[in-house]
Amino acid sequence: MSVLKKSWIAVPENSDFPLQNIPFGIIKVPDSDPHPATRIGDTVIDLSVLADFGYFDSLDIDNLSLFYTPVLNDFIALGKQTTNAVRLHLMKLFSEENQDLENNLEARSLALYPIDKVEVLLPLNIGDYTDFYSSREHATNVGKMFRDPESALLPNWKYLPVGYHGRSSSIVASGAEIHRPKGQLMPNGADQPIFGPSRLLDFELEMAFVTGKETKLGTSVPVEQAEDYIFGMVIFNDLSARDIQKWEYVPLGPFLAKNFGSVISPWIVTMEALEPFRTQGPIQEPDVLPYLIASGKRNFDVHLEVSIQPENSSESVICRSNFKYMYWNMSQQLAHQTVNGCNIRVGDMYASGTISGPEPNSFGSMLELSWGGKNLIQLSDGDTRTFLKDGDTVIMRGYCQKDDLRIGFGESVTKILPAL
């Protein structure tokens, strides 16, 4: 087994951010504008300072101003060849074999910050957002509860990656405080709806990918080329109000039940960093149509977990799942999204849909964990939940592990506040 290269920046044991990760994000340090950054261990590195000191001059980048922008869109638009060259260059700069920057105390003091001294912001201007519904276990569970246990999956589900166009304006970065939404609810047994705060507030454990290349309206992304269009991934908490959803979602799908806050982990982990963790997806039966046939390993082995932390109490892990369970992979999702000629843009976000596994403790929402509110979810402090309470904090984490190499996403943290 190869010994992993180390950084001259300290990396705590089991950190999601070793030298081999080099994710991209946007940080704000006090008295400065937001800038692109990366993270090693618990240290963040302001890339604008590295640009100031000429550390990117050896790369073939015409316009260094993109290291000073408040979002990563222009950086991502450079294309994978260049963004990965930047990533490999940063790995070299921070490798313990290289003392260049380590010995430049002025640059170091201006560029490096402890993570707890900076704000990590939403890293993108997200133009469009799609939410897929690609976990067979999740779609089956919801179909059983919301519709008919005998035909839980609708006839189209195994033929196409079902999705809907969501709203990008309400996607925010980890650390968000989200008020319980209000809306129309149809209580059991009632014959007309009432208006009020959602009573069935839930999370959805998802991952999302970010597109790094645009297409022209009228063209499609072939499934075998889809990965060229995917820059990287984040964890995605798609908060959902189940009572609003149940009343509103027929016939056009979710609307206000899911656009009051979706919370992402703020470091975009590149597909290059995730490469060692490819794995085979579930067998697709019946065969998919030719435009959806994707060869090779298109799923990724990402361990996922969700904790609930009640106000003034400790956190309890209530779900452990894995991104590898997805029935439809990202290549198929993007091929399907564009097969009709729909164009995509740099910085668009595509969420997987709730990632439920086969075991009950791997279900990726409280709707499923409590089976529609019928079963109590036990917390470590003795309390129980069926859905989220005001004051609860939802913490999602994800990481890949192979031998000594751990590449992670950090956290998506959301605190639930009372309805306004």
- Which residue numbers are catalytic? 138
46, 137, 204, 227: which one binds Mn ion (CB under 5 A): 204
Nearer to Mn ion, 146 or 291 (CB): 146
Q: What is the 3-state secondary structure (H, E, C) of the chain?
A: CCCCCCECCCCCCCCCCCCCCCCEEEEECCCCCCEEEEEECCEEEEHHHHHHCCCCCCCCCCCHHHHHCCCCHHHHCCCHHHHHHHHHHHHHHCECCCCCCCCCHHHHHHHEEEHHHCEEECCCCCCCEEEECCCHHHHHHHHHHHCCHHHCCCCCCCCCCCEEECCHHHEEECCEEEECCEEEECCCCCCCCEEEECCCEECEEEEEEEECCCCCCCCCCCHHHHHHHEEEEEEEEECEEHHHHHHHCCCCCCCCCCCCCEEECCCEEEHHHHHHHEECCCCCCCCCCHHHCCCCCCEECCEEEEEEECCCCCCEEEEEEEHHHCCCCHHHHHHHHHCCCCCCCCCCEEECCCCCCCCHHHCCEHHHHCCCCCCCEECCCCCEECCCCCCCEEEEEEEEEECCEEEEEEEEEEEEECCC
411 binds Mn ion (CB under 5 A): no
How many chain residues are in contact with Mn ion, going by CB under 5 A? 3
Nearer to Mn ion, 78 or 207 (CB): 207
Shortest distance (Å) from residue 247 CB to Mn ion: 17
Name the segment binding Mn ion (CB under 5 A); options: 83-91, 92-100, 183-191, 196-204: 196-204
Shortest distance (Å) from residue 132 CB to Mn ion: 8
- The residue nearest Mn ion at its CB is 238
110-139 positions binding Mn ion, by CB under 5 A = 131
Name the segment binding Mn ion (CB under 5 A); options: 116-124, 188-196, 212-220, 235-243: 235-243
Shortest distance (Å) from residue 354 CB to Mn ion: 6
Name the segment binding Mn ion (CB under 5 A); options: 5-13, 172-180, 238-246, 342-350: 238-246
Nearer to Mn ion, 131 or 411 (CB): 131
Shortest distance (Å) from residue 102 CB to Mn ion: 44
348 binds Mn ion (CB under 5 A): no
Shortest distance (Å) from residue 239 CB to Mn ion: 9
Nearer to Mn ion, 206 or 227 (CB): 206
Nearer to Mn ion, 55 or 209 (CB): 209
Nearer to Mn ion, 204 or 248 (CB): 204
Shortest distance (Å) from residue 229 CB to Mn ion: 21
238 binds Mn ion (CB under 5 A): yes
Name the segment binding Mn ion (CB under 5 A); options: 14-22, 35-43, 103-111, 233-241: 233-241
Q: Which residues bind Mn ion (CB under 5 A)?
A: 131, 204, 238
